[in-house]
Structure 1
Amino acid sequence: MRRPKIAVIGGGTGISVILDSLRKKDVDIAAIVTVADDGGSSGELRKNIQQLTPPGDLRNVLVALSDMPKFYEKVFQYRFADGDGPLSGHPLGNLIIAGISEMQGSTYNAMQLLTKFFHTTGKIYPSSDQPLTLHAVFTDGVEVVGESQIANYQGMIERVYVKQTYNEDKPRASRKVVRTILESDMVVLGPGSLFTSILPNLMIEEIGQALLETEAEIAYVCNIMTQRGETEHFSDSDHVRVLHSHLGQAFIDTVLVNIDQVPQDYMDYNQFDEYLVQVEHDFEGLRKQVPRVISSNFLRLEDGGAFHDGQLVVDELMQIIQVRK
C-alpha cells in the first residue's frame, strides 16, 4: 500500500518536535520551512550574503529529520562563543548551509544535497528560494518591517504579509512546494509562532492558494503558550480565526489543542522570555470554525519550558490518516 504523504509547514523550532516523531512512522514526509527570519545568526548571514535564505529554521528541521549520530548533531548545532568576533553566535550548521547554498547556487539546491548527506527521512523545502521580509500591520495602522522587530512594538497585529527582500518581485514558492501540498494526504500547520513562523509561508500566494485547493486533511497544532508581542490574550479560537482571515476563508479541518495545565511558577521566563501564559480555551468558538477539535494532553515539560509531546501529537495525526483511508 502507498505510504501516506504528510507535509508539515512552519518554522524550524516548532515543527521539529513533530517531525522528529513523524519520521519514525511509515509515512512520506515533506517539511516546508519559513524563510522570513531576519534575527540572530540567520539575520546576520542574510545581510552579508544576498540571495541567501535564512538557514536557522532549515538547520533545525534538518537535524529533526536526520538519523545522524548525536555527536554529529552536536557538531552541526555548535554555536560559536560570544567573544569569537565575526563568528560570534553563529551555529556551525548555519555556516555550512550558507556555504553550500553559495556553492550550489540556491538554498533549495543546498537542502536537497544536505538531506542526502545526512540521510534524512523525507524532503526539506524552503518555502521560497528567495529571502523574504515579513511586514506586520497593527490595529492602530502602524506597520513594522522585519520578523525580529515585530515583538518589540506594543500593539495588536491585524495582518502580516511578505515581500521579497532585495527586489519588488512577487514572492514565489520554491520548486515542488505547491505540488507537494496538492498531492499530500495531510498538511500539518505548526506548532510555532502564529505570525512569524506559520503565516509567512501561507502569505506566499501560491502556497495559500494550494492550501485552499488541496484535498488533503489540514490539521493545525495550536500553541500551548501565548507569545509576547504576537498572541497576547489569544484563545485557541483566536489562533484559528487569524489563520482563516489571512486566506479569506475557512480551510482548517482539524485543530489539536492541549488541555493539560502547565504548573504554576514552572516556566523559566529568563530562558523562555517570549512566552506569557497558557492559551485559553474557547471550544465553542473552535467548533464554529472547524469540523474536528481534538483536545488531549499533549504537554511535555522540559528544562523550564512547555512543549508539545511530539509522539502524542503524531499518534493523533496517524489516527486521522487511518480514518481517511
Structure 2
Amino acid sequence: MKLKTYRIRKPKVVVIGGGTGLPVLLKSLRNQSMDITAIVTVADDGGSSGELRESITTMAPPGDLRNVLVSLSDMPQLYADIFQYRFKKEDKFLANHALGNLIIAAMSEMRESTYEAIQLLSTMMHVQGKVYPSSDQPLVLHAVFKDGTSVSGESKIAEHRKTIDHVFVTQACGATPKAARKVVTSILEADLIVLGPGSLFTSILPNLMIPEIGEALLQTTAETVYVCNIMTQKGETEHFSDADHIKILHQHLKQPFIDTVLVNTEKVPEGYMDFEVYDEYLVQVTHDFNDLRAQGCRVVSTDFLELRDGGVFHDGDKVVEELLRILY
C-alpha cells in the first residue's frame, strides 16, 4: 500500500482535460489545501483559438489555457472580466477574439514558447497552482470512424455524426507529439489524477494520445479518477453509457488504468435544457454499474448536477467533496 505522505504535506492533484468542464472543477479545487497541476489540451482548432493558431503556427491554441488560468487565479473580478472579454462580431478583424487569447498569443511570440508564456502569466495572474499545456506545440486531432473513413481537425469531428473508432494526435508537420516540460513528472509524482469533466474524444483523449502522457498514466501509482460526462454529445458519444466512456479510455491506452468513476445520477428536469445554446448535447448518459465494476472501476454515484443558464454542468464543489473522500 502506498504511504500517504501527504498527511503531512499538501496532496498533489493533477487534473487533465480541456473545454468548459475543467475550469469548473479547478475553481472549486483552488479553495482546498492542495498542490494543483492542470494539464490542458492543445488540439483545439475552432473559433478564436483556431484563427490564432493559423496566424501564429508555432503557438498552441490559447482558449482552454485562458479559461484554466482564470479559474485558478485570485486576481480581482474586474481583471478577470477584462482578460475574458470577447470582442463583438462586428469588430472586423478582432471579431470574436477573447482579449486573453490575444495576450497569450503575444506572450507566446515574445517568449517563442506557449509553455513559457503560460508560466509568466501564471505569476502575473497570481495563479494558485501550476498550468501546463499538454504539449508546447499545437496538435492536430485525427478521428478514425468505424466505417474506415477519417477526418483531421478537432472542430470537424462532430460534424460527421459517425461512430468514432479511435482518435490520435500529431504535430502540424505530422511528427509524433511530445509532452511539455514537467507534465510527465507531475503525473508520476501525483497523489490523485483526475480526468475531466470534458468531451471524451476532443478534450480528454487528445492529452492521453501524446505517447509520454499515456505511458505516465499507466506507470503512476496515483489513484486515477474519471469524472463521467452528464450528457451525451452529438457526433462524439451518442448512445454512450458511463461504461462505454471507460471502455474507450482503456482501449486507447490498451489496458485498464481508471480506478474510480464519478457518475451523476440526478435527473435533468424535462424541458430544462436550452438546446439552441447547448446544441452539442443530446440526452443524459445512461448507467451500467455492473459493466463499470467488471472493468475494474470503483463507482461513486450521486448528485453532481448543477443547473444554470439553461445548461447542465457538474457542481464543482460536490465533485471536490468526493475527491477529498478518495484522497483522505
Task: Mark yes or no: TM-score above 0.5.
Answer: yes
Quote the Cα distance in structure 2 between the aligned partners of 1:306 and 1:151: 19
Deviation at 1:68, TM superposition (A): 1.4
Residue 25 (str. 1) matches residue 32 (str. 2): yes
Report how many residues are paired: 321
* Residue number in structure 2 paired with 1:38: 45
Residue 293 (str. 1) matches residue 299 (str. 2): yes
Kept in 1, the 8 Å contact 2:19–2:199? The answer is no
Deviation at 1:120, TM superposition (A): 0.6
Quote the Cα distance in structure 2 between the aligned partners of 1:148 and 1:315: 33
Kept in 1, the 8 Å contact 2:170–2:176? The answer is yes
* Residue number in structure 1 paired with 2:66: 59
Residue identity matched to 2:176: K
Deviation at 1:289, TM superposition (A): 1.1
Kept in 2, the 8 Å contact 1:106–1:129? The answer is yes
* Residue number in structure 1 paired with 2:22: 15
2:321 to 282, 306, 315: 315
Deviation at 1:142, TM superposition (A): 0.7
Q: What do residues 188-240 of structure 1 show as CA deviations (whole Å, max 9, x unaligned)?
A: 00000000000000000000000000000000000000000100000000001
Quote the Cα distance in structure 2 between the aligned partners of 1:102 and 1:216: 36
Q: TM-score, normalised by structure 2?
A: 0.97
Q: TM-score, normalised by structure 1?
A: 0.98
* Residue number in structure 2 paired with 1:268: 274
* Residue number in structure 1 paired with 2:140: 133
Kept in 1, the 8 Å contact 2:42–2:61? The answer is yes
Residue identity matched to 2:143: A
Residue 170 (str. 1) matches residue 176 (str. 2): yes
Residue identity matched to 2:17: G
Runs of 4+ in 1 over 4 A off after TM superposition: none
Q: What do residues 34-92 of structure 1 show as CA deviations (whole Å, max 9, x unaligned)?
A: 00000000000000111000000000000100011111111111101111111100000
* Residue number in structure 2 paired with 1:214: 220
SS at match of 2:132: strand
Deviation at 1:93, TM superposition (A): 0.4
Quote the Cα distance in structure 1 between the aligned partners of 2:185 and 2:305: 33
Residue identity matched to 1:259: T
In structure 1, stretches of 5+ residues that fail to align are none
Deviation at 1:27, TM superposition (A): 0.5
* Residue number in structure 1 paired with 2:245: 239
* Residue number in structure 2 paired with 1:145: 152
* Identity percentage of aligned residues: 64
Quote the Cα distance in structure 1 between the aligned partners of 2:131 and 2:296: 28
